[in-house]
Amino acid sequence: MEKFVIEGGKKLKGSVRPGGSKNEALPCLAATLLTDEEVTLRNVPRIADVDVMLEVIADLGGQYEWIGDNVVKVKSGPVERTELNADLCRKVRASILFAGAMLARKGDCKLPPPGGDVIGRRRLDTHFLALTALGATIDVSEAGFHFKGPRLKGDEIFMDEASVTATENLLMAATVAKGTTVIHNAACEPHVQGLCRMLTKMGARIQGIGTNIVTLEGTKGLWGCDHTIGPDYLEIGSLAGLAAVTGSELTIEGVVPEDLRMIRLVFARLGVQTEFRKDALFVPGNQELQIRDDLNNAIPKIDDAPWPAFPTDLMSIAITVATQCRGTVLFFEKMFEGRMFFVDSLIAMGAKIVFCDPHRVVVVGKSQLYGATLESPDVRAGMSLLIAALCAQGTSTIYNVRQIDRGYENIDKKLNALGASITRLPVE
C-alpha cells in the first residue's frame, strides 16, 4: 500500500500528454479473445486494471508481451478453458467484458462476479437481456454467471439503457452471430467507437459507429490486427480542471476535439476557458473562475447522462473545480448513488457544499481549501481529491492511491514534471 504526500499551492506550467483511454483499452483487451491470431495494441495505459485484464487472458492460456512503453502484443491461443479466475475478476469491473468475447469465441463462459469501484448499484441486467436476445442462456448462482450460447443468432435489440459495457459485450458477441444484429439505444462514447474501429480491423462488419443505432453482419471468424487506443478524454478533463483551480497554464497535447465538446461547455459554465491549438487543448493561467448563472439569475444545474452528455466519470472533478469558482451551482449525479459521498472530504478541507441526497449536492464558492488527511474511495474521486490537495493551502496525505493508479498512469510523475510536489511513499 502507498500514499501521496502533496504540498499544495504550487502553480504548474508546461505541456502534458494524456495516457491512452482506460475505458477503450479494457474492452479491446477482452476483444483479443475473439481470434487466435496476434493482436498489437498501442497507446495502452500501464495501469493496474490493464494488468489484471492481461493476467486473465494469460490464465486462460494466452500470451502477452510488452514490446514498448505502451505497446502490448496479445495472442489468446486456442482458449481451451472457459472458466475465468475468480481472484482476478473480483479486482476489476471490466471482467464482465469477457462474457461477450468468450460467447463469440467458445460459446461458453463461466464468469465470477466482477469487482470495481464502489460507487453505488451497477446493474448487470442490460448485459443479460442483450445477450439472451442473441440466443444465449445465463445461469446465475452464488459463484457467478454461466453464459452459454453455442449458436448465437442476430436479432433486432432495443437496450433498456445505453450501458457502455453492455453495448461492448453485445458488439463482441454479435460479430460472429449468424445473420444481422441491429442494436438500438446503443452507447456511443468515444471508447465504444474505439472498440468498433478495432473490431472492423479484425474483420467485423459494423455500420453506425458513433450513433445509437449500430448494425452488425455476422462473420465466421475474425483475425489479428494493429490498433491504437485513443487519448483518455477523462484524463484530459481532469488535467484541464487541475490547471484551472491552481491558476496554471497548461497545454494538453494529442487530444481529439470532438471528444471534448460537452466537457468544454460544462467547464465554461464554471468559468474555465479553454482553446484548441491544432491537436492540443490550451488552458490559460490565472483565470478568474466565475460560475455562469442561468437566465434570470437562476442557479445553474450540471448533470450527467449517456454520451454525448457530460460524463459521470467527470462529475467529481467538476465538483472539485466548482469549489474554486465564485457562485453557486447544483450538481445532479443521475447514474450512481454512491459517487457523491466523497464530498465529505472536500467539506473537511474547507469547501462549502450542501449534501442534499445521494444524487445531488450544491456547491458555493469560492472556498479556501486546506491540507488534510484523505483516502481515495474510487478512481475518479481519488483524482478529485488529488486536485483539491494541489490547490489547497498546506500539506495533504492521500491514502489508498492504488485507486488513482487504476485510472491514471504515473500521475504523480506526470504532474511533478509540471511543477507539482507529490511524493509517493509506502504506508507504514
Tell me: do 119 and 15 sit in the same domain: no
Q: What is the pLDDT of residue 23?
A: 95
Tell me: do 154 and 266 sit in the same domain: no
Q: To the nearest 10°, the Cα dihedral for 143, 148, 153, 156?
A: -10
Tell me: do 258 and 153 sit in the same domain: no
Q: What is the pLDDT of residue 142?
A: 82
Output the CA angle 267-24-249, nearest 5 degrees. 35
Q: What is the pLDDT of residue 117?
A: 44
How far is the C-alpha of 175 from the C-alpha of 169, rounded, in Å? 10
How does DSSP classify residue 70?
A: T
Tell me: do 6 and 75 sit in the same domain: no
Tell me: do 75 and 175 sit in the same domain: yes
Q: What is the pLDDT of residue 298?
A: 94
Tell me: do 272 and 398 sit in the same domain: yes
Tell me: do 334 and 282 sit in the same domain: yes
Tell me: do 94 and 135 sit in the same domain: yes
How does DSSP classify residue 201?
A: H
Catalytic residue among 51, 69, 117, 378: 117
Tell me: do 251 and 383 sit in the same domain: yes
How far is the C-alpha of 54 from the C-alpha of 51, rounded, in Å? 5
| CATH code of the domain in which 400 resides | 3.65.10.10
Q: How many domains in the chain?
A: 2
Q: For the chain (length 428 residues), average pLDDT per consecutive 10?
A: 95 96 97 96 95 94 95 93 89 89 93 61 77 92 86 94 94 95 97 98 97 96 96 97 98 97 97 96 96 94 95 96 98 85 96 95 96 94 97 97 92 97 94
Distances in Å between the alpha carbon of 163 and those of 128, 216, 317? 12, 18, 22
Given 200, 228, 256, the domain boundary residue is 228
Q: What is the pLDDT of residue 230?
A: 97
Tell me: do 319 and 261 sit in the same domain: yes
Domain that residue 307 falls in: 2-19+231-426
How far is the C-alpha of 143 from the C-alpha of 113, rounded, in Å? 7
H helix runs in 202-313, sequence order: 233-245, 261-269
Residue 153: is the preceding peptide bond cis (ω within 30°)? no
Active site annotation includes 69 = no
Q: What element of type H or E holds 196?
A: helix 190-201
Given 202, 228, 254, the domain boundary residue is 228
Q: What is the pLDDT of residue 122?
A: 54
Q: What is the pLDDT of residue 84?
A: 92
Given 193, 228, 263, the domain boundary residue is 228
